[in-house]
Structure 1
Amino acid sequence: MSTDYQRARVELGRRLRELREARPGGRLTGTDLAQLLGWPQSKVSKLENGRQTPTDDDLRAWAEAVGQPSAFSELRARLKGLESHIRSWKRQLAAGHAPVQETWDTITSGAQTKRSLSSAAISGMLQTADYARHVFDAHAVLQGAPRDTDAAVRARMKRQEWLYRPGKRLDLLMHESVLWARICPPKVLVAQLDRLLGVVGMDTVRMGILPLDASLSLTLGNSFTILDDRLVAVEEWHAELWLDDAESIALYRRVWDAFAASAVYGVDAQQVIARVRRSIKV
């Protein structure tokens, strides 16, 4: 967990404690508040000490219990500030994958340039519907999320319309291992690789492949996307990190540039993809 995130969560806890102790009707102890809310006392302690992230409902209940319901908007704003940095998959997927895809589409639709490094799966911007379906199903099982695969696939396909808008540019890097990953049946993977072959040369996409034998100046890390040098989204198993400070953006841009220098493009990229495709027995 990032230091900045934890510091902000501790500060939110401090504010919750302050509201409890300054209750208009008289100071409440942590035990009193827990009983009033029907919570374990440990939950109050964890929230006040920055060891647990509250939900919107937690904050609303807290503000009302301490007699200061108007404080909810302030508390919620603080929470959203936290979530702008670390967005838990468990929270995001509570209603399924489709709302997450729609939110990302809203965030990215205005971007002119996307620079992405994909180290685990084919970039969502270039996935076929069948490939995306297997990705969503697998992650729904992993996260214990609702299965809304068809709606999620439709949302992802709609997001790809961004590629056909004037002035847009996708600079994409993928490690060759991603092409080999059998996260779907061979027939689906072949169709997905054919999709990639058709993208090479598209004027809004510059796709680079990092061959297995490429010399790399850095170790390969998690997948990430840089939007117009204003926001970086990094994919972790437990959460998606949204980084908007200049220092982090500059760091990820240097990482992206380092891998871009090791990638192959155009005909050379096609040859790598075609070699993988020929190896698949359908």
Structure 2
Amino acid sequence: MSSTPSSSVLEARKALAARLVALRKDARLTGDELSARCGWHPAKTSRIQSGKAQPSEDDLRAWCTACGAQDQADDLIAAARAVETMYTEWRRMERGGLRAAQESVADLYHRTNLFRVYASRVLPGMVQTPEYTEAVLRSIQRARVEVDDVTDAVEARLERQRMLFSGRHRFGLLIEEWVLRAAVCDPETMAAQLGHLLAVASSPFVSIGVIPTGPGRPHLPVEDFYLFDEAEVAVELTSGYLRITQPGEITDYVRTFTDLAAMAVHGAEARQLITAAIATLG
């Protein structure tokens, strides 16, 4: 399973385009007639109707006016804005620094009851120690962010952690075994991080599963993702941050999480793998 910004955004554009086509047909207008009323070239209408072009808010208002459906303009504009916010490049999200990126999801985290996370690169942010978080964010800052506000970004993540572990939220975390051994920080920091992970695993609100590495591990290439209840999925891609809100796509991620959970070990077996990773650090 793999999502790309192009495929997900295109599907959302097509859904919006289908609504616009239906609106035109209900008004008994051809594409050329609608184009004439809107004052633009028919090729623009064709691109919008195929989902290849994203209409501006002015385009949507003109379309609704041409179809005599001005009352639907606000709803269509809201739908178009949702498409625009589906995918954000990291460089755009982080151009003002890393703290803003951390704070941008605070409301979403606050209103989520059940978090389900799949991690294949680094440990989930909600169970990171301050030192591990600093190492991860520092590597990101050096690679792609000009503003150095790593200290503030770490504090923003810690503020979110305090909110999350208030007892009002539940967590299902699936972690690839190799993440327990990934050299994202020095051995001392990693040992402390894994010790913290063991402590978190004892919480009644947290379920931690570790997917063992080995020849018996089924090949299921999946990008890191966060499931917020069944309302939204956040996918961390190499190039940016993808928000998925389409029910059908969310269902795909729920199913994938279930499949990954079946590959994982939990409880004492998961703790043994974490402990073994600590032992390799000396």
Q: Normalization by structure 1: what TM-score?
A: 0.74
3-state SS of 2:104 partner: helix
Kept after mapping to 2: 8 A contact 1:209/1:265: yes
Correspondence list, 1:56-135, <5 A: 80-135=81-136
d(CA) in 2 for partners of 1:186, 1:233 = 30
Q: Tell me the amino acid that sits aligned with residue 261 of structure 1.
A: A
CA spacing shift, 1:280–1:106, aligned 2, 3 Å:
same
d(CA) in 2 for partners of 1:77, 1:94 = 25
Offset of 1:195 from its aligned partner? 0.5
Q: 1:2 aligns with which of 3, 6, 22?
A: 6
CA spacing shift, 1:116–1:135, aligned 2, 3 Å:
same
Offset of 1:214 from its aligned partner? 7.4
Offset of 1:53 from its aligned partner? 9.1
d(CA) in 2 for partners of 1:215, 1:226 = 26
Offset of 1:78 from its aligned partner? 6.6
Partner of 1:280: 281
Offset of 1:22 from its aligned partner? 9.3
Partner of 1:227: 228
Kept after mapping to 1: 8 A contact 2:114/2:170: yes
CA spacing shift, 1:267–1:166, aligned 2, 3 Å:
same
d(CA) in 2 for partners of 1:111, 1:174 = 20
Offset of 1:215 from its aligned partner? 3.7
What stretches of structure 2 of length at least 5 have no aligned partner?
18-35, 42-50, 58-73
Kept after mapping to 1: 8 A contact 2:93/2:101: yes
Q: What do residues 161-214 of structure 1 show as CA deviations (whole Å, max 9, x unaligned)?
A: 234223310100000100110011111111111111111221111011111137
Offset of 1:137 from its aligned partner? 1.1
Kept after mapping to 2: 8 A contact 1:119/1:220: no
3-state SS of 1:94 partner: coil
CA spacing shift, 1:53–1:100, aligned 2, 3 Å:
farther
Partner of 1:147: 148
Kept after mapping to 1: 8 A contact 2:175/2:210: yes
Partner of 1:212: 213
Offset of 1:116 from its aligned partner? 0.3
Kept after mapping to 2: 8 A contact 1:163/1:204: no
Partner of 1:261: 262
3-state SS of 1:167 partner: coil
Q: Normalization by structure 2: what TM-score?
A: 0.74
Provide the alpha-carbon RMSD of the alignment.
3.8
Kept after mapping to 1: 8 A contact 2:141/2:148: yes
d(CA) in 2 for partners of 1:276, 1:109 = 32
d(CA) in 1 for partners of 2:179, 2:118 = 11
Partner of 2:31: none
What stretches of structure 1 of length at least 5 have no aligned partner?
13-20, 30-49, 61-72
Identity %: 28
Kept after mapping to 1: 8 A contact 2:233/2:243: yes
Offset of 1:83 from its aligned partner? 3.7
d(CA) in 1 for partners of 2:113, 2:40 = 52
Paired residues, number = 254
3-state SS of 1:156 partner: helix
